[in-house]
Amino acid sequence: MTKMTQIILNKLSGEDKTAKVGKILIKAGQKIEEGDGLFNAESAKGNFLVKSEYEGTLLNILIEEGQQIKIGAAIAEIDGEKVTKKPAQMNKTQANKGYSFGLAKPKKEDISCDIAVIGGGPGGYVSAIRAAQLGGNVVLIEKNKLGGTCLNTGCIPTKSFVKSAHLYDEIQRSTEFGIKVNQADVDLKQIVSRKNEVVSNLTNGIRSLLDYWKVRVIEGEAEVTKDMISVKNNKIEAAIQARNIIIATGSSPAKLNIPGAELPVVLTNEEILNLARVPESLTVVGGGVIGMEFAFIFSSFGCKVTVIEYLDDILFNFDGDIIEVIKEECGQRGIRLYTKAKVEEIDMEEGGQAITAFTQEGERHYVVGEAVLMSVGRKPNLSSIDLAELGVDLNAKQNGIDVDEHMATSNPAIYAIGDITNKIQLAHVASHQGIIAAENCMGRKSVMDYTAIPSAVFLSPEIGVVGLCEKEAKRAGIPYKISKFPFAANGKALSQGEPKGFVKILYREETHQILGAAVIGPGATDLISNFTYFIQSKMDYRTLHHTVFAHPTTAESVHEAILGITGEAIHFV
């Protein structure tokens, strides 16, 4: 008697809920067992095999190649049933060896591998994958969450907030575009919930990629000695022997050593990303990239924001023309800026408000806010490993691990990447350093090149920079000329209501090469990668004159700025 059952799709890769059907590996009349491959699928993180949880004879196939399917969809009909696994029975030997009153003791295990990566952030997990791609037997140790600060409490969560803030800004000016909206409210709980979903999806995607490349992930804090790496959690007590070690332990938020820095009203970037509601007012200590991104986000949400910066200006490492555009935008948003200002202490009044005291030009001032965000940079996690015992030297400033162009430390068996080196604290730098370290561990001779490292700042308007800026060129005595094209002369920027900003190129006329570039305006964080390639490849800018850029796009502003080098820009004089 036929027992017809539908095979239901219960799981995809990571947190994916939909996927595209690739090659179907089964056909009607075929007998299948649990674990047999049913079809290949393609999702956000790549291709993977969907395996059977059923056994029996296939009657009908209900999917087609190229079809988009969701979890819960029927894949096929089978004369058979789903395999149900019985709970494992614990025998006497198992009880004696590892179990007591239902609780498992950590299993002791000796592990030998080619490379042990300590830290699963954007440098660590990338280096682990690259080493595995080259045939390495890799162990990755992570004490918190895969993805590190960038994915869990930094780059990605803040960009999720940026999207919500930008959308709310767009709604506020929708009447300009002929769209009338009665009311729009900020629901911070939903914004946080969406942020958490994005983070979870990407974290699970990393786990899937590591699984695909057969990288063994061990959760726990690594204790590293010259003899071995020890990791212990509630499941395993591992003793790891590795030919090479890659240290990728990252950095932590720095705090000012002032009275009140530990008060509950003083928030870290992690805490501010998990607030239940928007504070009425926020004092941001530090006007660098992170501080200004949060200032713009919470200003968009209706919060009264004050920024206090110790240096001469906000975004101090950027050129003055970029800073002026942002300062003008701050004025329009009502963001108060205090520069050349030193925060002395933070106090909390009886009503719970935070009082931030600072001095500026010898005078003491006070700012009252519901909360304070401390955004004064990050410090490498140097104390997480006994570097002296390992023979790993620090740099001249003693604020990061000293590495060469191959990412090797003073101990030839140990490499270091990412914020722990304190070279450039950017996730994409850590990732590429991870690739370089992995390739050198696996016998290649790869070199880290810092010539063209782009930076992206997600304000409104966005900022992207790469190569030399004017400040750096002047300090180094490097001769340069400038070509600049405004977005106000770009058709798409105007049609989208985003005319602020410009594309600026620093170039050397004698060599016909681009030295650096800055973009501030719509899509700047994406457009800057064009210049990264131009600089990295030492391209002669004259070869770009007859490159056709699509119309209407903001990328045309890149072309116009290049044409402007020789005085041949079409839409600006």
Give yes or no for a contact between 469 and 506, defined as CB atoms under 8 angstroms apart: yes
477 annotated as a binding-site residue: no
Catalytic residue status for 406: no
514 annotated as a binding-site residue: no
For the record, the structure tokens of 185 come out as: 């409210």
Collapsing DSSP states into helix, strand and coil, what is residue 86?
coil
308 annotated as a binding-site residue: no
Residue 473 CA to residue 5 CA, distance in Å, equals 71
309 annotated as a binding-site residue: yes
419 annotated as a binding-site residue: yes
287 annotated as a binding-site residue: yes
For the record, the structure tokens of 329 come out as: 């935008």
Instruction: Tell me the longest C-alpha to C-alpha distance in the chain.
Output: 93
Collapsing DSSP states into helix, strand and coil, what is residue 77?
strand
DSSP H helical segments within 458-544, as ranges? 470-476, 491-495, 524-536
Catalytic residue among 406, 551, 559, 571: 551
377 annotated as a binding-site residue: yes
For residue 275, what are the contacts with CB-CB under 8 A and spacing of at least 6? 188, 192, 267
289 annotated as a binding-site residue: yes
250 annotated as a binding-site residue: yes
Collapsing DSSP states into helix, strand and coil, what is residue 394?
strand
Selection from 217, 209, 206, 148 nearest residue 426 by Cα: 148
Looking only at the bridges linking them, the beta strands covering 455-457 and 462-467 are antiparallel
For the record, the structure tokens of 500 come out as: 């602020």
Residue 461 CA to residue 524 CA, distance in Å, equals 8
142 annotated as a binding-site residue: no
Residue 377 CA to residue 256 CA, distance in Å, equals 10
For the record, the structure tokens of 488 come out as: 């106000």
251 annotated as a binding-site residue: yes
Q: Which residues of 209-222 are buried (b: 16+ CB within 10 A; e: fewer)?
A: bbeeeebbbbbbeb
Q: Which residues of 385-408 are buried (b: 16+ CB within 10 A; e: fewer)?
A: bebeebebebeeeeebbbbeebbb
Selection from 273, 316, 322, 278 nearest residue 299 by Cα: 278
327 annotated as a binding-site residue: no
> What number of other Cβ atoms are within 10 A of residue 474's Cβ?
11
Question: SS3 breakdown of the chain: % helix, strand, coil, rounded to 5?
Answer: 30, 30, 40
Q: How many residues does the chain have?
A: 573
- Dihedral pair phi/psi, residue 498, rounded to 5°: -130, 65
End-to-end CA distance of the chain: 84
Task: Point out the annotated binding site.
Answer: 159, 249-251, 286-293, 309, 377, 419
* Catalytic center residues: 551
Specify binding-site residues for FAD: 159, 249-251, 419
Binding-site entries for NAD(+): 286-293, 309, 377
